[in-house]
């Protein structure tokens, strides 16, 4: 009789799987992928960039300034008055001293506005400024 009881007791005991280490591992992988993923920053404006045969791909741009075909200036997707660009760049340089700026101007935009934005960035102290263009063949 006691043999039958022991047999039933062994059958009723089930193996439990501890899920805590598996969940920890999933969270660690999630954090790893979030940290190593590079997010593309856009100017927030649909811009038709001009083509240039000498254009090169810039790996890292901290700030992108967009100028649309109507001449409106956008920083991080928000429209900004052209007179406020300099102060915005000064604040940006306080937060990121070695930051770079890319100006993405539409090919239909006026050169005058591009020069004003470029000048405001230089007067604010930005050392690394580029103008975006598509590579031409």
| Position 68 pLDDT exceeds 80 | yes
pLDDT of 51 strictly over 70:
no
pLDDT tens sequence across 84-130: 999 999 998 898 888 888 888 888 888 889 899 999 999 999 888 88
Q: Which of 84, 78, 127, 74 is nearest to 104 (CA)?
A: 74
pLDDT at 91: 92
Mean pLDDT, range 23-40, rounded to an integer: 81
Position 9 confidence tier, pLDDT thresholds 50, 70, 90: low
Write down the domain spans for the chain.
2-36, 51-135
Instruction: Please report which confidence band the pLDDT of residue 14 belongs to, taking 50, 70 and 90 as the band edges.
Output: low
Spelled out in words, what is the top-level CATH class assigned to the domain 51-135?
A: alpha beta
pLDDT at residue number 61: 62
Residue 77 clears pLDDT 60, i.e. is over it: yes
pTM: 0.60
- CA–CA distances in Å: residue 108 to residues 1, 33, 72, 80, 129: 94, 39, 12, 19, 21
């Amino acid at each position: 009789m006691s043999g039958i009881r022991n047999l039933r007791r062994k059958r009723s005991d089930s193996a439990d799987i501890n899920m805590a280490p598996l969940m920890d591992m999933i969270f660690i992988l999630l954090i790893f992928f979030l940290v190593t993923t590079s997010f593309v920053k856009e100017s927030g404006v649909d811009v038709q960039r001009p083509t240039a045969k000498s254009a090169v791909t810039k790996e890292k741009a901290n700030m992108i300034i967009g100028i649309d075909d109507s001449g409106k200036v956008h920083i991080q997707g928000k429209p900004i008055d052209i007179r406020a660009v300099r102060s915005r760049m000064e604040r940006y340089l306080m937060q990121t001293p070695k930051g770079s700026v890319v100006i993405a101007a539409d090919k239909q935009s006026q050169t005058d506005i591009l020069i004003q934005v470029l000048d405001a960035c230089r007067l604010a102290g930005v050392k690394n400024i580029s103008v975006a263009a598509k590579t031409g063949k």
